[in-house]
Amino acid sequence: MSTTTLSLSKSPITGIEYAIPASSDDKAGIDAFIALHPGKKVVVVQGLGFVGSVMGLVVANALTEEYAVIGIDLPTPASYWKIRSINEGVFPVLASDPKIGLYYEEARRKKNYYATFDSYVYSKADVVVVDINLDVQKKSAKNRDLEGYDVNLTPFRKAIEAIGTHCKEDVLVLVETTVPPGTAQKIVRPLLEESLAKRGLATDKIKVGHSYERVMPGPKYIDSIQNFYRVFAGTDEKSAEAVETFLRTVIRTDEYPLTRLGNTNATEMAKVLENSYRAMNIAFMVEWSRFAEEAGVDIYEVVNAIRMRPTHKNIMLPGLGVGGYCLTKDPLLASWARMNLFGSEEKLGQSEKGVHINDKMPVYAFEFLRDQYTGSLAGKKILLLGVSYLNDVGDTRYTPVEGFYDHLLEEGCEVTLHDPHVKYWEEKDLWINQDLESLLKEDYDVVVVTTGHKDYRGNAALLEKISSKPAAWVYDTIGVLTNDEIKSLGEKHVVKVLGRGDL
Amino acid sequence: MSTTTLSLSKSPITGIEYAIPASSDDKAGIDAFIALHPGKKVVVVQGLGFVGSVMGLVVANALTEEYAVIGIDLPTPASYWKIRSINEGVFPVLASDPKIGLYYEEARRKKNYYATFDSYVYSKADVVVVDINLDVQKKSAKNRDLEGYDVNLTPFRKAIEAIGTHCKEDVLVLVETTVPPGTAQKIVRPLLEESLAKRGLATDKIKVGHSYERVMPGPKYIDSIQNFYRVFAGTDEKSAEAVETFLRTVIRTDEYPLTRLGNTNATEMAKVLENSYRAMNIAFMVEWSRFAEEAGVDIYEVVNAIRMRPTHKNIMLPGLGVGGYCLTKDPLLASWARMNLFGSEEKLGQSEKGVHINDKMPVYAFEFLRDQYTGSLAGKKILLLGVSYLNDVGDTRYTPVEGFYDHLLEEGCEVTLHDPHVKYWEEKDLWINQDLESLLKEDYDVVVVTTGHKDYRGNAALLEKISSKPAAWVYDTIGVLTNDEIKSLGEKHVVKVLGRGDL
């Protein structure tokens, strides 16, 4: 056991390193917490990631009911520090939403949000909210869907079995995880019933439902849970009713009415369809951007003109690529489910294709620069403006900047990173210099706009600074530069914009 | 010449048959018309189809200028009657928009809208608005893109050459036709310059621009021209300015500001991109509908839930198929242009694929019925509710009902048609019985909803009538039936809905 106790889990927020305990026993801690809240329903949130940790906060600050909330995650190097952090007064998610801080303080005051790693907690739960990840394994390097993919349900099944091994026979298990359609009905419910049967308990009292979250890390993090439309369904009538009753206590359903669908296959499909819709709309624009480059057309100008029609408002723009946890995998989850859970011989071919196209975008953006740049990029000093995949938010999960960055490194470039919203790039274990002014004291051969943050739009000081430098390249991969800005920079520099032909 | 003079052109509105004249001389008519309007600018509208005939009306009722408007089309059996009809007091387009009648009456009163077939008219034009068709030739039967396609520019080139042979050297030629991107710059302008040069005239005074229309036949026909956002560009600065000046006189630019793009490639691309966006969004949903059918999910319920998000409002529904003049061909025009006008080695593959998928939908809808129907369809009496491709509008151009209908006929069915908005199905030369009540005195083996007209939605009398019939099939190809309606019909009939699994 000694090697196990030596494992460490480090908080990227405080830098504190926690020794992971050898034993998974936290019975005393759980019991002591629950004893503080007699008569309150116990809600266990399974998974303390971007969704679960904040969902726990929201439930601890429910609107019409006082819950005792316990978050549970695995005692692994990646997760254990979150458990300790929640219990020790440091919320484990950095976010620009001030409500995060307020809600956490309030939960601390009420002492109604505890975190643990002991499955014993499920025996106390009236509600278990499942917020663990269900990942797609892409076979190419850098999680790009260029050589196929797989879906391994084993970790998800184990998490559900952990519930079934301990839970009350009438618990409500509410799956919020984005899952392959069919999962609640064909996997979660049967696994739970099987566990209950093994334990000699009734199998007809359990309630299993699905309601997908639409969490957006960023300035409206809490609102994206509490003040947002919810779609839900149950695996049977009483499950649906139990989900509805629970959601009404935590979500502002007066302003954001709930939508109940016919079955959990439908809600599960709705979530992945939502995300596939966006992924496909981006993929669709990729080839039009290439066409625009060939035809001397500015695709941004064209799309802005088209968006004036309400029927075309959702037309998207391509840019450097697609990032985040959802659009990069959900179409694949759906396609996998169609074949593996519903026995179809056909995949969702177009939706898969969309992911494939999007996953190639950072490579294209790199090749566009390499092919147009006069001379070799090797040894060149390159400044990337933006690491996050999303404008005005510090979210680096599957950011397309990663692929672009890696290619520049492989080419031998000396790359400097800036992002006003990202202090620490977790996937790369890199600390980001957030002081643009000091970064711009250096000269660069190429300045690349890689994220559409407000800080880079219409920023006259930034442009003046760049203009004052020796002649270099400015490469806008996402169309943040206006025509006038391009013209003014172009007097001295070479300016290239993805999706825009040289006019 | 005697065979030519025997050619007839029949008005489907009045039934009058006109003998097509042997000579193309209408100089006297044109001169007499222009003599009525001294000092007025002459606007010639080339093409008297769904767009041109109504564009002529709008220009004849311009907001801030009095124009003398002359429509021109070819003296062919398909078009000659329109010319006569305009001159004789019967507007050649049937539409539910009352403004059509009002505008036409006003033009008759002012005597400022004449129609002809004589190219001499171009010599009088200050402005020529090009509203002719530019078609794609799909190689499969029934204009379906299943075996490739071609774009034959010859008729379009001839039409432009006809202008060049007669026009003033400083005429404004405004192309409104949906064309392959690149057409104004690479085809129209060079052809006109060449003709002018041959005639010994200056080639640098001509003005060529592009501004695409977004005409929607139906109750807001006129508004879809006059009260709608316009995107425009010129092949040079003075062309762009001339287009803008002209458009400001006919369009409500105070409420619907004009958008000028950088060049005509961009405006031409914007139009086909708009339509490709919609075509692709429908195609995208096709495979999800199939998945929904497999998973016992109601795709309509799912999509309605998703549409609650503003970012997802434009998500579409598939239904029976895609019709109309735009979505069925514009992605192909664009792809063709990319390869043939800009020399790209890549087509717009996804956009082409979208048309291909959509073109297969009516066959799928037929096979869905044939495969699920107990027994053979041969000899069965089938009622189709709806012929138009568009809800609440009588437009049969490339309607997907055609393919579905043809398949039923081939299967030996006895098909009855109804559409409250279509009296005459031009492409099939069929007159449609519009009296649903009398049609429902008969019994049918299958009643199929083929168009989403309001008349078929929540129509209690219609449902009661169907319910009172002997047990039969009700097949909803576009999701107009609500859950309650399906349940109530299902007590007696077999009810099938495309995109909805049996729950």
Inter-chain CB proximity B291 and A269 less than 8 Å: yes
> Strands across the sheet with A494-497, in order?
A414-418, A381-385, A446-449, A473-476, A494-497
Please give the C-alpha separations between residue A266 and each of A214, A489, B298, B301, B368, in angstroms, as whole numbers: 16, 51, 7, 8, 21
Of the residues A216, A272, A286, A302, the best mutation for testing chain B's interface (the one with the most B CB atoms within 10 Å of its CB) is A302
SS3 A388: coil
Instruction: Please report the beta strands in B180-266, taking only residues with DSSP state E, as ranges in sequence order.
Output: 207-211, 231-234, 259-260
SS3 B174: strand
Phi and psi, residue A60, nearest 5°: -65, -20
Whole-number Å distance between alpha carbons of B57 and A286: 40
Residue A4 has pLDDT above 80, yes or no: no
Element (H, E) at B113: strand B113-116
From chain B, pick out residues whose CB is under 8 angstroms from the CB of A291. 181, 269, 334, 338, 342, 344, 348
Q: Select the residue of A288, A348, A503 nearest B262 (Cβ to Cβ).
A: A503
Inter-chain CB proximity B298 and A262 less than 8 Å: yes
Comparing alpha-carbon positions, the chain B residue that sits nearest to A347 is B287
Of the residues B288, B317, B352, the best mutation for testing chain A's interface (the one with the most A CB atoms within 10 Å of its CB) is B288
Chain centroid to Cα A79, Å, comes to: 16
Task: Provide the pLDDT for residue A503.
Answer: 64
For residue B424, is it left (φ>0), alpha (ψ between -120 and 50) or beta?
beta
Q: CA torsion A393→A397→A399→A404, rounded to 10°?
A: 130
Confidence of residue A6 (pLDDT cuts 50, 70, 90): low
Q: How far apart are the first and last CA of chain B?
A: 67
Q: What is the 3-state secondary structure (H, E, C) of A69-90?
A: EEEECCCCCCCHHHHHHHHHCC
Inter-chain CB proximity A261 and B301 less than 8 Å: yes
Whole-number Å distance between alpha carbons of B375 and A131: 49
Q: Could you count the other beta carbons within 10 Å of the beta carbon of residue A503?
A: 13
B219-261 pLDDT, tens digit each: 899 999 999 999 999 999 999 999 999 999 999 999 999 999 9
Please give the C-alpha separations between residue A449 and each of A45, A457, A475, A477, B387, in angstroms, as whole numbers: 39, 10, 6, 6, 51
Q: Select the residue of A266, A297, A348 nearest B302 (Cβ to Cβ).
A: A266
From chain A, pick out residues whose CB is under 8 angstroms from the CB of B276. 284, 288
Comparing alpha-carbon positions, the chain B residue that sits nearest to A228 is B309
**What value does the mean pLDDT take over residues B323-333?**
94
A49-88 pLDDT, tens digit each: 999 999 999 999 999 999 999 999 999 999 999 999 999 9
- Structure-token pair, residue A14: 């405080």
Of the residues B235, B287, B317, B497, the best mutation for testing chain A's interface (the one with the most A CB atoms within 10 Å of its CB) is B287
Closest CA to B341 of B151, B138, B178, B180: B180
- Closest chain B C-alpha to A266 CA, distance in angstroms: 5
User: Do B397 and B439 form a contact (C-beta atoms < 8 A)?
Assistant: no
Cβ neighbourhood burial of A441 (10 Å; 0-12, 13-18, 19+): exposed
Residue A185: partners with Cβ closer than 8 Å, 6 or more residues away: A235, A263, A264, A265
**What value does the mean pLDDT take over residues B115-125?**
98
Q: Could you count the other beta carbons within 10 Å of the beta carbon of residue A128?
A: 29
User: Do A381 and A444 form a contact (C-beta atoms < 8 A)?
Assistant: yes
Phi and psi, residue A441, nearest 5°: -70, -25
Whole-number Å distance between alpha carbons of B465 and B485: 13
Residue A496 has pLDDT above 90, yes or no: yes
Tally of CA atoms within 13 A in the half-sphere of B115 that contains its CB? 29
B415-450 pLDDT, tens digit each: 999 999 999 898 898 999 999 999 999 999 999 999
CATH fit for domain A2-267, picks 3.40.50.920, 3.40.50.2300, 3.40.50.720, 1.10.1200.10: 3.40.50.720
Closest CA to B113 of B17, B9, B188, B34: B34
User: Do A430 and A409 form a contact (C-beta atoms < 8 A)?
Assistant: no
Q: Hey, what amino acid is at B301?
A: E
**What value does the mean pLDDT take over residues A225-253?**
97
Whole-number Å distance between alpha carbons of B446 and B365: 14
Whole-number Å distance between alpha carbons of A221 and B358: 39
Q: Hey, what amino acid is at B186?
A: K
Element (H, E) at B430: strand B430-431
DSSP state of A197: H
Query: What homologous superfamily is domain A297-497 in, according to CATH?
Result: NAD(P)-binding Rossmann-like Domain (3.40.50.720)
Chain A and chain B share a number of CB contacts under 8 A equal to 171
Q: Which of A232-241, B91-100, B135-144, B323-332 has the highest mean pLDDT?
A: A232-241
Q: How far apart are the first and last CA of chain A?
A: 67
Per-domain residue ranges of chain A:
2-267, 297-497
Q: Answer with the residue of higher pLDDT: A326 or B2.
A: A326
SS3 A404: helix
Residue A499 has pLDDT above 70, yes or no: yes
Residue B402 has pLDDT above 50, yes or no: yes
Task: Provide the pLDDT for residue A3.
Answer: 46
Inter-chain CB proximity A277 and B290 less than 8 Å: no
Q: Where are the alpha helices (DSSP H) in B61-97?
A: 80-88
A160-185 pLDDT, tens digit each: 999 999 999 999 999 999 999 999 99
Question: In angstroms, how far apart are the furthest CA atoms of chain A?
Answer: 79
Q: Select the residue of A269, A309, A353 nearest B295 (Cβ to Cβ).
A: A269
- Structure-token pair, residue B183: 């057409």
**Two domains, one topology: A2-267 and A297-497:** yes
Q: Could you count the other beta carbons within 10 Å of the beta carbon of residue A391?
A: 17
Confidence of residue B275 (pLDDT cuts 50, 70, 90): very high
User: Do A404 and A381 form a contact (C-beta atoms < 8 A)?
Assistant: no
Q: What is the DSSP string of A37-63?
A: STTPEEEEEE--STTHHHHHHHHHT-S
Inter-chain CB proximity A342 and B302 less than 8 Å: no
Whole-number Å distance between alpha carbons of A301 and A292: 11
Residue A498 has pLDDT above 70, yes or no: yes
As beta bridge partners, residue B115 has: B71
What is the ipTM score, two decimals?
Answer: 0.93
Task: Provide the pLDDT for residue B503.
Answer: 64
Q: Answer with the residue of higher pLDDT: A96 or B169.
A: B169
**What value does the mean pLDDT take over residues A403-413?**
97
Q: Where are the alpha helices (DSSP H) in B319-348?
A: 330-340
Task: Provide the pLDDT for residue B1.
Answer: 40
From chain B, pick out residues whose CB is under 8 angstroms from the CB of A290. 344, 346
**pTM for this predicted structure:** 0.93
From chain B, pick out residues whose CB is under 8 angstroms from the CB of A277. 281, 284, 306, 312, 315
Inter-chain CB proximity A273 and B265 less than 8 Å: no
- Structure-token pair, residue B481: 């039936």
For residue B323, is it left (φ>0), alpha (ψ between -120 and 50) or beta?
beta
- Domain B2-33+47-261 architecture: 3-Layer(aba) Sandwich (3.40)
Q: Hey, what amino acid is at A29?
A: G
**What value does the mean pLDDT take over residues B276-289?**
96
Inter-chain CB proximity B313 and A314 less than 8 Å: yes
* CA atoms B93, B94, B97, B98: torsion sign: positive
Residue B162: partners with Cβ closer than 8 Å, 6 or more residues away: B119, B122
CA angle A497, A390, A454 (to 5 degrees): 65
Whole-number Å distance between alpha carbons of A272 and B202: 60
User: Do A233 and A260 form a contact (C-beta atoms < 8 A)?
Assistant: yes
- Closest chain B C-alpha to A284 CA, distance in angstroms: 7
Comparing alpha-carbon positions, the chain A residue that sits nearest to B338 is A291
A313-359 pLDDT, tens digit each: 999 988 999 999 899 999 999 999 999 999 999 999 999 999 999 99
- Structure-token pair, residue A494: 């070479």
- Closest chain A C-alpha to B277 CA, distance in angstroms: 7
- Structure-token pair, residue B58: 């709008």
Whole-number Å distance between alpha carbons of A313 and B287: 23
From chain B, pick out residues whose CB is under 8 angstroms from the CB of A181. 291, 295, 297
- Closest chain A C-alpha to B448 CA, distance in angstroms: 24
For residue A297, is it left (φ>0), alpha (ψ between -120 and 50) or beta?
beta
β-pairing verdict for B446-449 and B381-385: parallel
- Closest chain B C-alpha to A171 CA, distance in angstroms: 26
Inter-chain CB proximity A273 and B301 less than 8 Å: no
Supply the CATH classification number for the domain B279-497: 3.40.50.720
Q: What is the DSSP string of B381-418?
A: EEEEE--SSSTTS---TT-HHHHHHHHHHHTT-EEEEE
Q: Could you count the other beta carbons within 10 Å of the beta carbon of residue B464?
A: 10
Average pLDDT, chain B: 94
B202-221 pLDDT, tens digit each: 999 999 999 999 998 888 99
From chain A, pick out residues whose CB is under 8 angstroms from the CB of B296. 263, 265
Closest CA to A339 of A182, A217, A126: A182
In angstroms and rounded to an integer, the radius of gyration of the C-alpha atoms of chain B is 24
Q: CA torsion B140→B141→B143→B149, rounded to 10°?
A: 20
Residue B3 has pLDDT above 50, yes or no: no
Chain centroid to Cα B21, Å, comes to: 29
